[in-house]
Chain A
C-alpha cells in the first residue's frame, strides 16, 4: 500500500488574496491540510475505527488488550465449544487458554512452537508443533498446565505447519516440512502420506466441503488441489515464497470460494549467517532486521477464476480469516494491522495494534478475537465503534508557527472532531489540550503552533462516516534568504570546491550563461526573483528582465552576446510579494562573484617552427589564456604546450619550446597550433616548418 501523507495544498494566488482580510499580520498565503485518502487517514492512531481505501473512516473493531508475557508468538488459535480460546504459542511450544478474560497456561511441549490448532475427532482439540513433527491431542477439560505426550509423531517430518480436519470423511490433514508432505491421519493416529510435493514445506491446508484438500507451499508458492492419494494439481503458481494461508468460504455470496494469502519475503533469509559452533547461553538475539515482505490476497471463485483482492507492498500477511458473512480479513506481518476488502475492492484498515504482527484472527458469530504477536497480545473484539472508537490523525506539520482557520468537515452522521496543537513532534505536555468537539465545520480553536493533530470520535453515532477534513492555516511570514548566486554552464556544480583536473579540456564556448541561485525559504511561500547586472567597476545595475516579467524559477539563462567583453556581477532579488499583501512582503538580495563575459577567441602571433623549435604568442582581449596545444596536420592527437613562464595565468602567454618528440623529421611538416581562452573560445593556426 502506498505511503501515507497528508496533502499540503498550495493555494492559488487568488485564494490567498481573497482570504487576506481575515488573515493575521505577517501571514503568508493560506494553505490547507487535506485528509481524505486511505494514506492520509491511516498515518495516525486508530482505535476501534476502520480506514478505507475509498478515503473514509468508520467505526471499526474495538479491541480489548490481554497481554500474554510468557510467549512471543501466537501461532494459531482455536475456539472451543465452551467459548474459551486456545492459543498455540512459541518460542517454547505452549498452549494457553483464554477464558473469562484471563489467560492460563494449559499445556507444555518440548517444541519451539505449537504451530496449529484444530478441532478434530470427537470434538477434541489437536495441536501440531515443530521441530519434532509431533501432533498432540488436548484433553477437553484441561485446566492445569501439563506436559503433553505426542499423539502422533510423523515420520521424516520436523514441522507440522497446519492441521485441517475433514469432519465428513473423518480425517485429519497435516501440512508439513521439510519434505513438503501432506499427511492424512485417521482417528487411530495412523498417518499416511496423502501428497508428497516437490516443495520443502507445505505451510497451509484447508478442506472444502466437497472433500477436496487445498494446500499451499513454501518455496515456489504453489497452491495445490488434492483430490485423492497422490493426485494433485497446481491451482496457481504465485510469484513469491509461500502460500501462507488458505480459507474456504462457507457462507455469503462467495460460498465455496477459496481465499489464499501469498507472500514474497524478498530474500529476507539471505542476511542470515552460517551456523556457529555451539556456545554457552546465547547472547541477546540480534536477528531483528528482517524486512517486511509483500503480501497478496486472492480469491478463486467457484468457477476457479482468480481475482486479486489486495496487494500490499509494505508488508506480507501473517494470517487470514473469513467473518461470519464470508468477508476476508488479513493480519499483516508488520505494523500489526488488520485489513478487509469488499467486492468492490475497497480496502479497509479495521484495526491497528501495537504488535508487530497479527497472527490469528477469528471473527465468527460466537466469538471474535484477533491475536497480535511480538509481543503476544490477545484482543477480544468488544464491538463496533463505541466510546473507544477514536481516529487520531498523524501530526500535521505547517513548517512554521501557523494560525489555524476553518476546519471543514465532510462526514455522514454525527462525529465529534477535536484538535490540539503544539510545537513538538511527537506531542508532549507543552501541547494544548484537546479542543471542544466540533460536530460540524467551524473555526478551529487550537492556538497557533507549528504542529496540529485532529481526532474524530464515533461514540455518538457508530454508523458515522468521516469522509474528509480540511484545515486552513497561515504561517508566520519568514523572509527567504539567498545563500548563493552562481553563473556558469549548465550542470555547473556551484558548490564544489574541487580543482579542475590538470590538463583538462576547456569548456565549449557559449555566449549563454546559466545563472542559478540557492535560498532558504522557511515558510515555503512562493517567491519572485528579479535579476540585475553591472560591470565589475560600474555602480549602475541594469535589469536582466523585462519590467513585467515574473520569474519564479531559481535559474535563468543570460544571453551575453550583445555585451561588451569584460567582467560583470549579477544580483538576485528574492521577494515573497506573490504570497503576501503589499507592505508585508519581504525581500533579500545577493550578488554573484565576478562573471566573465568573453565571446571572442584569442589571437596567435609570431608563430614559427624552426627545426624542432616552436615559438609564438597567444593573446586574448579579456584573458587569461587557458591552454595552447599543437598537432601535426592530418593527425587528431593534440599535445599541450607549456608557456615560457610555466603558468597559463595572463591574457598574453609566450611559448618557445622544443617539439622534436612530437613532430616527424622531413621538410614537409606542418603543425597546427590551437589556443583557448578561459571562456573556451579557441583559435587555430597552421605553422610550416622552416629549416
Chain B
C-alpha cells in the first residue's frame, strides 16, 4: 500500500488527535532518526535507536515496508530478534509502525517495519458478532464440541486403536436444530476441510499451512525471513517437540525451547496491562506443558491493541488466549536471534490475525478447556498426574491435545522396551454429556509419545466435534487415564477351526481361534457365532477380522447431536475380533441418526421415498458379532458354516 493510499484510506477512520500520533509512510525519508520500544529483559520496555534506511513499496499486497537500522547494545550482538516483532518505532515522537521483518543470517541490524496505518486498519476492522460478543463482554464462543473416534493404524510393529462410548445425557434433535443460528465460526478458514468423521490432525495442519504459506512467505527475491512467530515451548518432551515443529512450522510458527510455563503473576512494578513496547504472549497450551507465541505490543488503544506487525497464522477472526509476559534474555544466534521468555498474567484474547498485525481485545477471555492426564502402570515415575489448559480452537485443540497428552506420557512412561498402553478419555461435551473414547497402542521398543495420540480416536473425536458443520459447541474438559504395561500385547491369528460346520438355524456355531501371543505360547479361544434363523438351508461365509478393521454400520449424522451419537458408536472396541456375515433379503436403513438393522423387503419398500431425496439410506444387511480378545490382533480369515432348517 502506498503512503498516499494509506492516508486516503484511513483519513476517514482515524480521529484527528490520533493522527497526530502517527507518521505517514510518505513523510518518512531515509536518514531520519528515531527510537523503538521493546523488552530486552523483564517486562518493562526499553528504548533503542533507529535510523530510516528506505521504504519498500508494495512489499505485501497494498502494504509497504519501512527499512530501519536499529542500535542497542543487545541488538548490536543479536542483530535481528524474532521476539521483537511488534516493537513500536517512532520518528520525531510519532509512531511509524512495528518492527516486523528481518534477514536470515543478518550481519547488520537491519529490519523491516510494518506501517502503523495498516495495523490500525486491522485494529478497527469489525469482527463477526459471534466472534466479538460486544458490550456484554461475554466469553467468546468456543468452536465445535463433540468427540469422534476412529481407529488408527498399525505401523512397524506399533499400533494404536480405540473405541468410543457415550453416556445417556443427550439433547433431542429438534431442540438442537431449533433456534440455532449459524455462526460464522462454522465457516472459519481454520476448519478441517473434509468430513469431520475423517478427521486427521496432520491433514488438518497441511490444510492450514497451505492457506497461510502464501501470506507468511517473504516476497520473492527479498531474502527476508518469513514472517514467523516464535512458539516458545516448555515442559514438552522431545518427540512432542518434534511433532509441534512438524505441525506448526509450516504455518509460520518457529518452535523454540526457551520458555517457561509461567507462574501466573506479575513481578512488582511491572505493567499489569499491555503497554506499547511491552511483551505479549499467546499461550496456546499452558499448565504442566506450555506452548506460547511471544512478541511485542505495538499500540494500545483502550481495551484493544495491535502487535507483531505480521500475522501469526493469518487465521482472521480468532480467539486465542493472550497473556502478559516476561523476557529472560535475548539469545543471539547466527541464524536469527530470539527472546527467551514466558507468559505471566493471562489477559485478553487474540481476536483477529491479519496480514499486518494481530489484534487483541483485553476485555475478552478466550475459551479454553482443561486436560487432565493420569498415568498408571509406570512404577516409580515421578509425575503421573498432568494438568493442561488448551486453547479451544478447531485446529489447535486437537493438536495441542495430542502433544500435551503425548508429552505427559512420553515423560512419564517413555520406555525403549516393548510396551502397551490403554487410554480411556472422557470428553465432556457441553450440553451433550460425556463421550468416552478408548485408545490402545502397543509397540516394539518404541516409546509411547505424541505420534500415537496424533492419530488416536481421542484426537479424531475432538477434531470431528470442533469441526462439525452444524453448531458451535464447546469442550468442557478432557480426562485421560492411561494404563501402561511393559510388554508387547500383539496377538496373531494363526488359524481357525470350525467346530460346528453344520448348525441349526438360530443356533450358534462354534469356531476355535488359535492365537499366537508375542513371546508367549499359542492359545485358543472359542468364538460362538449366532446364526440367524433366516439362513436355514444356506451355506454362510463368515468373515473373521480384527475389530479395528471393521466399519460399524451407523447412520450418517445430520446434526450435532447425531454426531455425538455416531462418534460413540462408530467403532468397535480395539481389542476384539468381529465375525460378520450377510443377511440376504433384509436391509439396513439409516436416517436421522437412527438405524434399523434388519428390515424385511416389504417394510423397506414403505420406508423409501421416490419423491423426497432426504430419505433413509438403505444398505444390504449384515450381522456382526464381536468377541473380545486381549491385545492387538493381526490377521483375518473366512469360514463357511452350513445352516440347517430346524425340524422340531
Q: B323: CB under 8 A from chain A?
A: no
Residues of A within 8 A of B556 (CB): 278-282
Q: A110: CB under 8 A from chain B?
A: yes
Instruction: Using known A-B contacts A278-B197, A288-B610, determine if residue A265 contacts B551 with beta carbons closer than 8 Å.
Output: no
Select which of B536, B594, B612 is within 8 A of A112 by beta carbon: B594
CA distance in complex: A419, B620 (Å): 50
- Looking at the assembled complex, report how far the CB atom of A285 sits from the nearest CB atom of chain B, in whole angstroms: 4
CA distance in complex: A278, B593 (Å): 11
Select which of B554, B585, B599, B600 is within 8 A of A278 by beta carbon: B554
Residues of B within 8 A of A268 (CB): 601, 604-605
Instruction: Using known A-B contacts A147-B172, A278-B557, A285-B615, determine if residue A112 contacts B589 with beta carbons closer than 8 Å.
Output: yes
Instruction: Using known A-B contacts A113-B607, A178-B598, A203-B600, determine if residue A198 contacts B617 with beta carbons closer than 8 Å.
Output: no
Q: B450: CB under 8 A from chain A?
A: no
Q: B587: CB under 8 A from chain A?
A: yes
8 Å CB interface, A232-270 against B:
241-242, 244, 263, 265, 267-270
Interface string of A622-654 (1 = CB under 8 A from B): 000000000000000000000000000000000
Q: Are A200 and B570 in contact (CB under 8 A)?
A: no
Residues of A within 8 A of B614 (CB): 284-285
- Looking at the assembled complex, report how far the CB atom of B562 sits from the nearest CB atom of chain A, in whole angstroms: 9
Q: A420: CB under 8 A from chain B?
A: no
Residues of A within 8 A of B551 (CB): 275-278
Residues of B within 8 A of A130 (CB): 596, 599, 603
Q: A691: CB under 8 A from chain B?
A: no
- Nearest-neighbor residue (CB-CB) of A356 within chain B: B610
Instruction: Using known A-B contacts A91-B591, A285-B613, determine if residue A244 contacts B534 with beta carbons closer than 8 Å.
Output: no
Select which of A108, A112, A288, A374 is within 8 A of B174 by beta carbon: A108
Q: A161: CB under 8 A from chain B?
A: yes
Residues of A within 8 A of B606 (CB): 73, 75, 90, 113, 318, 333, 357, 359, 373
Q: B588: CB under 8 A from chain A?
A: yes
- Looking at the assembled complex, report how far the CB atom of A197 sits from the nearest CB atom of chain B, in whole angstroms: 8
Residues of A within 8 A of B596 (CB): 112, 130-131, 158-159
Select which of A111, A218, A285 is within 8 A of B616 by beta carbon: A285
- Nearest-neighbor residue (CB-CB) of B506 within chain A: A198
Q: Are A131 and B608 in contact (CB under 8 A)?
A: no
- Nearest-neighbor residue (CB-CB) of B596 within chain A: A131
Instruction: Using known A-B contacts A73-B607, A268-B605, determine if residue A242 contacts B600 with beta carbons closer than 8 Å.
Output: yes
Residues of A within 8 A of B505 (CB): 198
CA distance in complex: A203, B601 (Å): 11
Q: Are A263 and B602 in contact (CB under 8 A)?
A: yes
Q: Are B601 and A242 in contact (CB under 8 A)?
A: yes
- Nearest-neighbor residue (CB-CB) of A283 within chain B: B613
Q: B163: CB under 8 A from chain A?
A: no
8 Å CB interface, A112-152 against B:
112-113, 115, 130-131, 147
Q: Are B646 and A218 in contact (CB under 8 A)?
A: no
CA distance in complex: A108, B174 (Å): 10
CA distance in complex: A203, B566 (Å): 29
Q: B555: CB under 8 A from chain A?
A: yes
8 Å CB interface, A347-375 against B:
356-357, 359, 373-375
CA distance in complex: A244, B534 (Å): 17
- Looking at the assembled complex, report how far the CB atom of B463 sits from the nearest CB atom of chain A, in whole angstroms: 13
CA distance in complex: A270, B617 (Å): 15
Select which of A178, A201, A274, A373 is within 8 A of B620 by beta carbon: A274
Q: Are B602 and A241 in contact (CB under 8 A)?
A: yes
Q: Are B622 and A274 in contact (CB under 8 A)?
A: yes
Residues of A within 8 A of B558 (CB): 281-282
Select which of A112, A265, A285 is within 8 A of B602 by beta carbon: A265
Select which of B582, B600, B612 is within 8 A of A72 by beta carbon: B612
Residues of B within 8 A of A219 (CB): 534, 585, 600
8 Å CB interface, A197-230 against B:
198-201, 203, 218-219
Interface string of A322-365 (1 = CB under 8 A from B): 00000000000100000000000000000000001101000000
Instruction: Using known A-B contacts A287-B608, A374-B610, determine if residue A269 contacts B620 with beta carbons closer than 8 Å.
Output: yes
8 Å CB interface, B554-581 against A:
554-558, 566, 570
- Looking at the assembled complex, report how far the CB atom of B648 sits from the nearest CB atom of chain A, in whole angstroms: 10
- Which residue among B195, B585, B592, B622 has the maximum number of chain A CB atoms within 10 Å of its CB? B585
Instruction: Using known A-B contacts A158-B597, A180-B533, A269-B586, determine if residue A290 contacts B604 with beta carbons closer than 8 Å.
Output: yes
- Looking at the assembled complex, report how far the CB atom of A282 sits from the nearest CB atom of chain B, in whole angstroms: 4
- Looking at the assembled complex, report how far the CB atom of B453 sits from the nearest CB atom of chain A, in whole angstroms: 22
Q: A177: CB under 8 A from chain B?
A: yes
Interface string of B34-77 (1 = CB under 8 A from A): 00000000000000000000000000000000000000000000
Q: Are A178 and B597 in contact (CB under 8 A)?
A: yes
Q: A168: CB under 8 A from chain B?
A: no
- Nearest-neighbor residue (CB-CB) of B601 within chain A: A265
Residues of B within 8 A of A161 (CB): 603
Q: B611: CB under 8 A from chain A?
A: yes
CA distance in complex: A218, B600 (Å): 6
CA distance in complex: A199, B469 (Å): 43
Q: Are B603 and A316 in contact (CB under 8 A)?
A: no
- Nearest-neighbor residue (CB-CB) of A272 within chain B: B620
- Nearest-neighbor residue (CB-CB) of B615 within chain A: A285
CA distance in complex: A280, B588 (Å): 18
- Looking at the assembled complex, report how far the CB atom of B580 sits from the nearest CB atom of chain A, in whole angstroms: 10
Q: A179: CB under 8 A from chain B?
A: yes
Q: A441: CB under 8 A from chain B?
A: no
- Looking at the assembled complex, report how far the CB atom of B571 sits from the nearest CB atom of chain A, in whole angstroms: 10
- Nearest-neighbor residue (CB-CB) of A245 within chain B: B602
Q: Are A288 and B605 in contact (CB under 8 A)?
A: no
CA distance in complex: A269, B589 (Å): 12
Q: Are A273 and B585 in contact (CB under 8 A)?
A: no
Residues of B within 8 A of A275 (CB): 551, 553, 588, 619-620, 622
Q: B1: CB under 8 A from chain A?
A: no
CA distance in complex: A670, B205 (Å): 89
Select which of B600, B601, B609 is within 8 A of A285 by beta carbon: B609
8 Å CB interface, B193-208 against A:
195-197
- Nearest-neighbor residue (CB-CB) of B609 within chain A: A72
Q: A92: CB under 8 A from chain B?
A: yes
- Looking at the assembled complex, report how far the CB atom of A128 sits from the nearest CB atom of chain B, in whole angstroms: 12
Residues of B within 8 A of A279 (CB): 195, 197, 556
Residues of A within 8 A of B555 (CB): 278
CA distance in complex: A112, B591 (Å): 7
Instruction: Using known A-B contacts A91-B616, A275-B619, A287-B608, determine if residue A131 contacts B585 with beta carbons closer than 8 Å.
Output: no
Q: B540: CB under 8 A from chain A?
A: no
Q: Are A200 and B619 in contact (CB under 8 A)?
A: no
Q: B618: CB under 8 A from chain A?
A: yes
- Looking at the assembled complex, report how far the CB atom of B348 sits from the nearest CB atom of chain A, in whole angstroms: 35
Q: Are B613 and A284 in contact (CB under 8 A)?
A: yes
Q: 7 more A-B contacts (CB under 8 A) besides A276-B619, A356-B610?
A: A75-B606, A130-B603, A131-B596, A265-B601, A278-B570, A288-B608, A375-B612
B interface residue numbers (CB < 8 A to A): 172, 174, 195-197, 469, 505-506, 532-534, 536, 551-558, 566, 570, 582-592, 594-620, 622, 645-646
Q: What are 5 A-B contacts with C-beta separation under 8 Å?
A: A92-B592, A200-B534, A242-B602, A263-B602, A285-B614
6 tightest Cβ-Cβ pairs between the two chains A and B: A284-B613, A218-B600, A131-B596, A178-B598, A285-B615, A275-B553
